Amino acid sequence: MVTVIISMMDTNGSNSSDIYSDLCWIIHKSKVWCVMKESHKIYNTAVEATLEVIGGKWKPVILFHLTFGKKRNNELKRLIPAITQKMLSQQLRELQEEGVILRTSYNQVPPKVKYELTDYGWSLKEILHMMCRWGDSHLERKYGGRATVLANPELGDESDI
């Protein structure tokens, strides 16, 4: 079994500026695949790139809670009771891989781990708080007084957001 990976190159040996330079031909078991190299992605809008990092049901909620300071895993679980422990761990790992949060392990017994926003993660604060305000307006528009946002002791007065 042999796998050969061939990258498209210009005749001078440098990567071409056209779209084909970012293609990779993979030959395996008499089959040929053409795949996009991981280093180059095409987005229709920058919103797609944003959602690639913070999209999903839980990531914005996790990040929102981290805008109020460092949190341990069990604190986040308490603040987001509907998330499973497995999903919380997965989302935290993905956010860490993207460089949005920092995981700090303390050398003590019992083990202690805290999560916090990186400088890059802090750049999302305004977006997250705007999403919160928009959500409040949406709930009022859609449900009137029939929707309840559970009180969050971290938030205090809405003007603090």
Q: How many CB atoms neighbour CB 106 within 10 A?
A: 9
Q: Look at residue 67 and tell me whether its pLDDT is greater than 70.
A: yes
Q: Which two tokens stand for residue 158?
A: 């809405």
The pLDDT of residue 40 is 77
**Which amino acid, 81?**
P
The pLDDT of residue 2 is 44
Find the range with the poorest average confidence among 30-39, 85-94, 134-143: 30-39
The residue written with tokens 């990976």 in the block is 5
Mean pLDDT of 80-108: 97
Instruction: Kindly report the average pLDDT of the chain as a whole number.
Output: 80
CATH class, domain 46-138, is mainly alpha
Helix (H, G, I), strand (E, B) or coil at 161: coil
The pLDDT of residue 29 is 55
**Which amino acid, 50?**
T
Q: Give the pLDDT band of residue 11 (cuts 50, 70, 90).
A: very low
Q: What's this model's pTM, rounded to 2 decimal places?
A: 0.69
The pLDDT of residue 30 is 59
Q: What is the domain partition of the chain in residue ranges? A: 46-138
Which tops the pLDDT comparison, 130 or 26?
130
